[in-house]
Amino acid sequence: MSDYILVIDAGTTSTRAMLFARDGGCHAATAADITQHYPRPGHVEHDADEIWQRSLGVARAMVERAGGPDRIAAIGIANQRETIVFWDRDTGEPLAPAIVWQDRRTAAMCRTWREAGEEPGVQARTGLLLDPYFSGTKIAWALEHWPQLRAAGERLAIGTVESWLVWKLTHGEHITDATNASRTLLMALGSGSWDDGLIDLFGVPRAALPRIVDNAGQLAETSLLGGLIAICGMAGDQQAATIGQACLTPGQSKATFGTGAFVLANCGHTPPTSRHRLLATVGWQLGGRRTYALEGSVFVAGSLIQWLRDSLQIIASADETEALARSVPDNGGVYLVPALAGIGAPWWEPAARAAITGLSFATGRAHLVRAALEAMAHQSHDLKTAFAADGADWATLRIDGGMVANDWMAQDLADMLGLPVERPGFTETTALGAAMLAGVGCGWFATLVEAAAMRGRVETFTPALDEDVRQARLDGWRIAMRQVIEPRR
């Protein structure tokens, strides 16, 4: 009897595998870290073989925990988006490092394309902007700078992380799902197909690209886990979290606070248009029909806390941050603008650099930690303003990701946004969304609405901060942001 959905959640700093029951309960989970490589400032790379080996290892551990492959109804995959992998079709081995979504090496190329007037056309076709964040610019750079890719000729395969994992699991099935394809700068948002003009702009060999498929269905099969198991669900991590948060009706919005922070608002079946530098993207595609979302992307969230721990060494673990934030009455005038990898929506300034302002002899490490946590709400407020200007304001925000286990931060979000914030009891909604998709794909559920019963209970945080205090903080944040943004413009 098939009791579980096996989810592989291939994230930026770790890859995890989880077993989900039909009621949404997580039966078991395990994880393995992914090494971050920083060969030079602005460059962020992964070893694609490490991603594969770690993903295979945790998946096998969960199949064993389930009692064997016969207990697995289907596999769902969620992945870090925009990270791009290059491999050899004949050997199945990587040809170069994977370029990670945080990487900024293509900033100069993007500037050149923008100055040539390419961005309006790109945005109209893809819903995206010309920024190093997206896969197409990374592919263009790699083909120019890594001769082994050009030398591979017809052997070259290119894909995002879920595409790489499926290739390895199936010994050669080259597919990508519609959500990941929509993040490459190569897919036309309206048609859901690769766009010849965009492929020419970035110089990408079409034959190296995968076939675009739905997010749920009988997508592929693997025999590497002890028996034949169908892969029935795939989605980029933020779209998977949107599904896991049951944002299935136009207007519903979620924010995931992981390595970065990403807000998506369901916009229904018509591609949205942003005039305030938000992104239009595919939310999911089922039966060839796409549901779209408007997205605001913040590049640095949980990675800021990791930086405080690993580089500055002012905390020993992320768990300390809540108590430190509560130990001081306010931020002491300190603001931290976390542009450690440039800054995303709604500013899109890849050359921006992080700043800590308002320091004095009275500043202690608790003020720095509190300022880092407050930056999550401040950046979210900037996004809320842009969403509202685009006619997609939030009534309630559903939050998830590793950071939101922090009650202080969840309440701060409600206070600064001035709206109710919902946190599910199970906050790993990226994996849950992949499980929901796989559940639809294997026939456990007829629709995503039916699968939404897996979400379970939620907790609500309501605004409680004095309006004068709230406004003073926002004013201080605006001043700090100007110091970071204006010198670059």
- Count of CB atoms situated within 10 Å of the CB of 337: 24
SS3 content of the chain, % helix, strand, coil (to 5): 40, 25, 35
Distance (Å, rounded) from C-alpha 281 to C-alpha 265? Answer: 10
Distance (Å, rounded) from C-alpha 81 to C-alpha 237? Answer: 7
What local confidence, expressed as pLDDT, does residue 488 receive?
Answer: 56
Q: Is 457 left (phi over 0), alpha (psi -120 to 50) or beta?
A: beta
Any idea what DSSP says for residue 287?
T
What local confidence, expressed as pLDDT, does residue 419 receive?
Answer: 95
pLDDT at residue 266 greater than cutoff 70: yes
Q: How far is CA 331 from the centre of its chain?
A: 29
Cα-trace Rg, the chain = 21
Q: Is 455 left (phi over 0), alpha (psi -120 to 50) or beta?
A: alpha
* Helices (H) then strands (E): counts for the chain: 16, 23
Is residue 336 within 8 Å of 356, Cβ to Cβ?
Answer: yes
What local confidence, expressed as pLDDT, does residue 455 receive?
Answer: 87
What local confidence, expressed as pLDDT, does residue 462 receive?
Answer: 97
Q: What percent of the chain has pLDDT over 70?
A: 99
Mean pLDDT of all residues in 333-342 = 91
Distance (Å, rounded) from C-alpha 243 to C-alpha 436? Answer: 8
Torsion angles phi and psi, residue 181, rounded to 5: -60, -35
Confidence of residue 267 (pLDDT cuts 50, 70, 90): very high
Residues facing 281 on adjacent strands: 293
What local confidence, expressed as pLDDT, does residue 192 receive?
Answer: 93
Confidence of residue 307 (pLDDT cuts 50, 70, 90): very high
Q: Is the dihedral of CA 431, 432, 436, 438 positive or negative?
A: positive
What local confidence, expressed as pLDDT, does residue 258 receive?
Answer: 84
Fold of 4-237: Nucleotidyltransferase; domain 5 (3.30.420)
Domain locations in the chain? 4-237
pLDDT at residue 489 greater than cutoff 60: no
Q: Residues 16-66: pLDDT tens digits? A: 999 999 999 999 999 999 999 999 988 999 999 999 999 999 999 999 999
Q: Residues 92-113: pLDDT tens digits? A: 999 999 999 989 999 999 999 9
The strand pair at 84-88 and 397-400 is best described as unpaired
pLDDT at residue 435 greater than cutoff 80: yes
Is residue 420 within 8 Å of 396, Cβ to Cβ?
Answer: yes
Is residue 228 within 8 Å of 69, Cβ to Cβ?
Answer: yes
Mean pLDDT estimate for the chain: 93
pLDDT at residue 345 greater than cutoff 90: no
Confidence of residue 427 (pLDDT cuts 50, 70, 90): confident
* Residue 485: exposure state from Cβ atoms within 10 A (0-12, 13-18, ≥19): middle
pLDDT at residue 149 greater than cutoff 80: yes
| Total residues belonging to the chain | 489
Q: How far is CA 22 from the centre of its chain?
A: 25
Closest-CA residue to 182 (of 243, 253, 134): 134
What local confidence, expressed as pLDDT, does residue 299 receive?
Answer: 84
Q: Residues 402-423: pLDDT tens digits? A: 899 999 999 999 999 999 999 9
Can you give the pTM of this predicted structure?
Answer: 0.88
